[in-house]
Amino acid sequence: MFQERRRFLARPRATVGGPLPLLGPAFVTAIAYVDPGNFATNLSAGSTYGYLLVWVVVASNLMAMLIQYLSAKAGIATGLSLPALCRRQLPRPAVRGLWFQAELVAIATDLAEVVGGAIALKLLFDLPLLVGGTITAVVAFALLGLKSRGHRPFEAAITGLLAVILIGFVYNVLRGGPEPLAVASGLTPQFAGSESVLLAAGMLGATVMPHAIYLHSSLTTGRYVTTTEPQRLGLLRSQRIDVVTAMTVAGFMNLALLVIAASALSGRADTIEGAHAAIGTSLGTVTALLFALALLASGFAASSVGTLSGQIVMEGFLRRRIPLVVRRLVTLAPALVVLALGVEPTQALVVSQVVLSFGIPFALVPLIMFTRRRDIMGALVNRRGTTYAAAVVAAVIIALNLALIVLTVRG
């Protein structure tokens, strides 16, 4: 009896109770895919270009599924976060450079989340933007406090906020009356001038976010006991379900934002505040209220996830851990400065997403390099087709960024 009990306890938590108890990490990272930056870029895309950039949303989401799957796989196979894996495998100068750009990405991320939360509080309660940004930062820090109680409370809170956003979007889409044929017409890849390229880069940066790539690898390390390759393969299968489910939800939300703007806000969503007012006029006050609540939930949740990612970045690249309060202040200060200076918040959000787009290759290229190596990944090494697909994704992102640089210089 005692031996049988020992065998039961030795079973990895990764295989107990089927795949459902293993869901969660991808839902935490999914909040990064529906952060306030997504509101800004997708609303701008839909109101300015109609359904023209639907294909960017769909392509970005498919890229996100592959990338987040690779990130989760790297964590399962190595027991290390992607930043820690970079520190172990790359030369020190390269690690320092990657850490520096990751910190810039963290600042851009926090800018988007805090500004988005501030806008939502202004829409709901007419609070000054600086006050709203401070409240967003405090609430995000409180959410992070749930991590001290284990993985599940924090994941449950983030998933709950994700549900709030989903409800708001579903209601708004139903009220907006989208045109299915028009949506389908936007699946053909095309642009309409340099401004649409800039917006597409922002949409890509708002969807495939560097800090989500770093974070996901850390969320699958340590929480599951896997001591053999078959156990790791079993865990990977459950994480595949987690990633596909969470990214599908996030992709629907992004598409919903663009569809709402294209169907009901044509030419009237230069700012998030303008979109909110237009939604109230076109679709009613309840729809506008749900839109603002979804934005608020997005700002709160994404800000806490962004801070957690920043901690993972510093701990992984530099093997240093600083108090979360200090970590929060480091990345929060620029966001509050932007609000204090009175910079137009929606434009600040779009610019922050472009910065994030430039950060994607620095996370994605090392991820592809590591996951294709059997000496690092073992039985979880990429299949050749997976590596090729990931390389194509990286090439597309890099090409889009180079095109953006050329267009900006010429402009």
Please tell me the total count of domains within the chain. Answer: 1
The whole-number pLDDT of residue 263 equals 86
Name the band, by pLDDT with cuts 50, 70 and 90, for residue 336.
Answer: confident
For residue 5, is pLDDT > 60? no
Whether residue 11 is contained in a domain is answered as no
The whole-number pLDDT of residue 381 equals 96
Closest residue by Cα to residue 87 from 366, 282, 348: 366
Whether residue 27 is contained in a domain is answered as no
The whole-number pLDDT of residue 258 equals 93
Whether residue 104 is contained in a domain is answered as yes
Q: Is the pTM of this model over 0.85?
A: yes
pLDDT tens digits, 155-210: 889 889 999 999 998 888 888 777 888 899 999 999 888 788 878 877 886 678 88
For residue 248, is pLDDT > 90? yes
Name the band, by pLDDT with cuts 50, 70 and 90, for residue 306.
Answer: confident
Whether residue 351 is contained in a domain is answered as yes
Q: How far is CA 335 from CA 43, 112, 386, in A?
A: 21, 8, 38
Question: Pick the residue with more confidence: 365 or 346?
Answer: 365
The whole-number pLDDT of residue 223 equals 62
For residue 149, what are the domain limits?
Answer: 42-410
Q: How far is CA 111 from CA 42, 55, 295, 351, 409, in A?
A: 17, 27, 14, 10, 25
Q: What does the mean pLDDT of the chain come to? A: 85
Whether residue 158 is contained in a domain is answered as yes
The whole-number pLDDT of residue 2 equals 39
Whether residue 20 is contained in a domain is answered as no
Can you give the three-state secondary structure of the chain, one letter per residue? Answer: CHHHHHHHHHCCHHHCCCCHHHCCHHHHHHHHHHCHHHHHHHHHHHHHHCCCCHHHHHHHHHHHHHHHHHHHHHHHHHCCCHHHHHHHHCCHHHHHHHHHHHHHHHHHHHHHHHHHHHHHHHHHHCCCHHHHHHHHHHHHHHHHHHHHHCHHHHHHHHHHHHHHHHHHHHHHHHHHCCCHHHHHHCCCCCCCCHHHHHHHHHHHHHHCCHHHHHHHHHHCCCCCCCCCHHHHHHHHHHHHHHHHHHHHHHHHHHHHHHHHHHHHCCCCCCCHHHHHHHHHHHHCHHHHHHHHHHHHHHHHHHHHHHHHHHHHHHHHHHCCCCCHHHHHHHHHHHHHHHHHHCCCHHHHHHHHHHHHHHHHHHHHHHHHHHHCCHHHHHHHCCCHHHHHHHHHHHHHHHHHHHHHHHHHHHC
Arithmetic mean of pLDDT, 351-363? 82
Q: Would you state the torsion angle of the CA atoms of residues 313, 316, 318, 321, taken in this order, to the nearest 10 degrees?
A: 80
d(CA 65, CA 53): 19
- Residue keyed to tokens 């922002």: 202
Question: Which two three-digit tokens encode residue 260?
Answer: 């709402």
Arithmetic mean of pLDDT, 121-128? 95
The whole-number pLDDT of residue 112 equals 85
The whole-number pLDDT of residue 233 equals 82
Q: Provide the 10 A C-beta neighbour count for residue 406.
A: 12
d(CA 304, CA 158): 9
CATH number at residue 367: 1.20.1740.10
pLDDT tens digits, 14-64: 443 444 445 678 888 988 888 888 888 888 899 999 999 999 999 999 999
d(CA 364, CA 401): 14
The whole-number pLDDT of residue 119 equals 94
Whether residue 12 is contained in a domain is answered as no
Whether residue 404 is contained in a domain is answered as yes
